[in-house]
Amino acid sequence: MRQIFLDTETTGLSPDNGDRIIEIGCVELLHRKLTGNNLHFYLNPGRDSHEDALRVHGISNEFLRDKPPFSAIVDELLAYLAGAEVIIHNAPFDVAFLNKELELLGRGPFPPCVGSITDSLAMAKELFPGKRNSLDMLCDRLEVDNSGRTLHGALLDAELLADVYINMTRGQEALLIESDDTRNDTGTTVVVDLSRFELPVLLASDAEQAAHDQVLKDLDKASGGKTVWLQAAREKPQDAVA
């Protein structure tokens, strides 16, 4: 599965009021492995950034003067994204800007240009309801190092999002131990038939069993005789007699 993590920086918050994209960063993940095949552009938006936006991304208007316009990179961008699942944090924001840039060039909207779009912010809200789920907060929560993020940057944020996404979805892979040896030449996972192996059964020693029984007794005492598995054991002889 080819996944692309995408982020943009813009001159402001409203594409309908003339704000434009000034930076695009894309990071590729293939079979849950970062490939290094990333894409990054700075763009000349044809207008100055709002002061509030400048405080967020720190990309000066002067720096962007000699950068290409969106029209110069659009074909390369869409070819790179074609067929991929594009993962964006707060996707409606970035997609609205991409839609506007394409509209200004007389092209159709962005979503049909890619395989699918996933909003990682919506995913995070489902995983962590009632909590703040900004990229910085998710980095802290999932132990992703974001110490280099003093300002927003599209490529850096896309890289951080890739790490956050991998950590958020790690549970989906918990039952699959995958290495290079478990994939064939086509990239598909090879299923190993465990029935071919004789797996040993290791029984608890007398000391281990005694320690286990003591833990159960302590739990039963602490719960006032409400330990479910001991209740079941006590009831079993009565059921057998009945």
Under 8 Å between Cβ of 97 and 90 = no
Q: Could you give the angle at the alpha carbon of 36 between the alpha carbons of 31 and 41, nearest 5°? A: 120
The closest of 111, 144, 148, 141 to 124, measured between CA atoms, is 141
What CA–CA distance (Å, rounded) separates 51 from 64? 15
CA 20 to chain centre: 26
Return the residue matching tokens 């002061």: 51
Q: Of 40, 50, 152, 212, which is the active-site residue?
A: 152
* Residue 79 identity (one-letter amino acid): A
Q: Is 152 a catalytic residue?
A: yes
Which residue type occupies 111? P
Calpha distance 110→78 (Å, rounded): 9
| Residues annotated catalytic, as ranges | 152
